[in-house]
């Protein structure tokens, strides 16, 4: 690999200004769109014309689209998030029936979880490999094609004649869902400009992402109770098919480079001139981009203390949602005699908590923007650590406190509503924590934020794949109280991360080559 390619994912030296040929971060694109002054058809020589935006006010720039159009696209994208993520956990309520039909036993190992495990592993791998390709092809085409593939992979799930067919097919379905969810995130970042502009849409996206993953057992339980496990998948096939025409009509292309290529194509067709975008003239080494999309996140995960810690915390938070798909049924069945579908309904408490958690996230955004008035390091610029204020409440009271409530109210003589309240507290904490982490790394790492988010998303999928495999044994061996308490103690340790950053945040950012590069960029803007 050439030195130029290596520079795409290696850490910059402190104080050195590095310019990537193709930056994967949304913030870089945002700055480029603001600064672009080149006329649409500025001649580069006698024969070739360079196609670019007509200045920062060009109405074709997605940031400049009407607000009504942005919200229609955003709401459509959020609907897509909920639609596909349900597939991940909906069948967990039917584990006993699937085991019986395919002759699978959970006596010595929770084999019934493998269809969910393969689903999340597929999500981790597909996101890293295929998302860079789709970013080059375009968000609209990538979304519609991937969504169609997801629909096709629902069919073999519904008609599977053996257990391992279900496991293998769900690997590809999970991969499609991960790509779709990340495309939706990209769409929101493409059309909403600046921290203030995208604050509410992004918090709505994170809430929908978590709710979509958590509400699966609730919906699956309702279907399974009346129709059986295969109908959980057939009904998903029906609603995804119904929504496809809506997405076809309302999902628009939002990638700036793709829109410019279309403009150049129209100019060539209309005038016959050699009109090309800068990207077309320079060319793109797609495989180099894919290598960067894999190597830089892994490099930062292994070398950046903040990335490593926040990946653990976010992965644990999301993994907890999947642990509940195993532990809730075990706890509520043994203590209160709940059927599998009824235990699925109980997980609705986590959903309610996640929705409630959206509101303090909005309050924290106000605190973040207000912090600009007291920023002595860069006056007038919000302090990145201000993103973490509410995560202390979410980490200590929500997740940790909720885990201990769930643990020590899990007795048959205590009404089932008590541990259910604990589940709701955990759901509240999960949303607050995951939102705070996403916001902080975006601010602190700036142009490298996309790589950090990719590392965190990879960690979330891997932990969601394998942590619940230990849940059944853990709850059987330690007992309901101490198993949940163990999770509470882990949460307590991880919740110290924002406290450390609130005290020593500026020093941590100065010591990090990636964050110091972001600080340098902020200084020269």
- Return averaged pLDDT per consecutive 10 residues of the chain, 525 residues in all: 36 37 39 41 60 89 94 94 93 92 89 94 88 80 95 96 95 95 89 86 95 94 91 95 95 90 89 82 72 83 93 95 92 92 92 96 94 87 92 96 96 95 97 95 84 90 92 90 96 96 90 76 52
Question: Looking at residue 21, what DSSP letter applies?
Answer: S
Of 183, 210, 215, 178, nearest to 433 by C-alpha is 210
Tokens of 173: 């379905």
CB 422 within 8 A of CB 280: no
Please provide residue 276's backbone torsions phi and psi, each rounded to the nearest 5 degrees.
-140, 155
What is the torsional sign of CA 360, 464, 212, 227?
Answer: negative
Q: Specify the pLDDT at position 500.
A: 94
Please report the domains of the chain, with CATH numbers, ordered by start residue. 70-261 (1.20.1250.20), 295-525 (1.20.1250.20)
Angle between helix 449-466 and helix 286-303 axes, rounded to 10 deg: 70
Q: Specify the pLDDT at position 91.
A: 94
Of 206, 264, 226, 360, nearest to 60 by C-alpha is 264
H helix or E strand, kind and range, residue 484: helix 471-494
CA angle 143, 33, 282 (to 5 degrees): 75
Spell out the long-range contacts of 362-365 with Cβ–Cβ below 8 A and sequence spacing 24 or more: 362/199, 362/200, 362/203, 363/390, 364/389, 364/390, 364/432, 364/435, 364/436, 365/199, 365/200, 365/203, 365/439
Q: Specify the pLDDT at position 59.
A: 92
CB 440 within 8 A of CB 310: yes
Of 498, 313, 491, 496, nearest to 400 by C-alpha is 491
Sheet holding 41-43, edge to edge: 41-43, 48-51, 274-277
> 79: exposed, middle or buried (C-beta count within 10 Å: 0-12, 13-18, 19+)?
middle
Residue 48, SS3 per DSSP: strand
Residue 275, SS3 per DSSP: strand
The structure's pTM equals 0.87
CA distance 448 to 458: 16
């Amino acid at each position: 690999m050439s030195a130029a390619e290596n520079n795409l994912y290696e850490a910059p030296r402190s104080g050195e200004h590095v310019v990537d040929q193709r930056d994967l971060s949304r913030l870089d694109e945002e700055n480029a769109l603001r600064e672009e002054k080149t006329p649409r058809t500025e001649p580069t020589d006698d024969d070739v014309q360079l196609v670019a935006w007509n200045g920062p006010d060009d109405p074709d720039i997605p940031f400049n689209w009407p607000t009504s159009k942005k919200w229609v696209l955003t709401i459509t994208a959020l609907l897509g998030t909920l639609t596909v993520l349900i597939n991940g956990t909906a069948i967990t309520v039917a584990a006993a029936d699937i085991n019986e039909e395919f002759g699978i036993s959970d006596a010595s190992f929770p084999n019934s979880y493998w269809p969910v495990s393969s689903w999340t592993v597929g999500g981790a791998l597909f996101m890293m490999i295929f998302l860079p390709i789709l970013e080059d092809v375009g968000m609209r085409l990538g979304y519609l094609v991937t969504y169609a593939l997801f629909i096709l992979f629902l069919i073999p799930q519904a008609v599977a004649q053996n257990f391992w067919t279900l496991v293998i097919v769900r690997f590809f379905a999970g991969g499609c869902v991960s790509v779709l969810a990340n495309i939706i995130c990209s769409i929101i970042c493409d059309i909403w400009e600046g921290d203030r502009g995208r604050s509410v849409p992004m918090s709505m996206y994170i809430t929908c992402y978590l709710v979509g993953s958590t509400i699966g057992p609730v919906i699956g339980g309702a279907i399974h109770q009346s129709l059986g496990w295969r109908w959980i998948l057939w009904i998903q096939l029906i609603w995804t098919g119904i929504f496809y025409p809506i997405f076809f009509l309302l999902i628009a292309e939002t990638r700036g480079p793709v829109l410019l290529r279309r403009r150049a194509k129209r100019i060539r067709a209309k005038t016959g001139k050699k009109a090309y975008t800068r990207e077309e003239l320079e060319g793109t080494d797609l495989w180099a981009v894919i290598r960067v999309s894999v190597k830089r996140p892994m490099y930062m995960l292994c070398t950046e203390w903040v990335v490593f810690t926040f990946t653990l915390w976010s992965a644990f938070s999301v993994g907890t949602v999947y642990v509940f798909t195993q532990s809730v049924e075990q706890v509520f069945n043994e203590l209160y005699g709940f059927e599998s579908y009824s235990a699925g309904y109980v997980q609705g408490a986590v959903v309610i908590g996640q929705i409630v958690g959206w509101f303090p996230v909005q309050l924290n955004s106000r605190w973040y923007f207000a912090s600009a008035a007291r920023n002595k390091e860069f006056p007038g610029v919000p302090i990145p650590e201000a993103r973490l204020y509410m995560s202390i409440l979410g980490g200590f009271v929500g997740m940790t406190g909720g885990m201990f409530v769930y643990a020590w109210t899990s007795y048959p003589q205590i009404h089932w509503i008590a541990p259910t309240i604990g589940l709701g507290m955990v759901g509240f904490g999960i949303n607050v924590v995951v939102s705070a982490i996403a916001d902080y790394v975006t601010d602190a790492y700036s142009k490298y934020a996309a790589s950090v988010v990719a590392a965190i998303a990879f960690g979330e999928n891997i932990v969601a794949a394998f942590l619940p495999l230990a849940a059944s044994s853990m709850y059987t061996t330690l007992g309901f109280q101490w198993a949940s308490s163990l999770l509470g103690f882990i949460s307590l340790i991880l919740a110290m991360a924002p406290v450390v950053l609130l005290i020593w945040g500026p020093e941590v950012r100065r010591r990090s080559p990636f964050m110091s590069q972001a600080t340098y960029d902020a200084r020269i803007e």
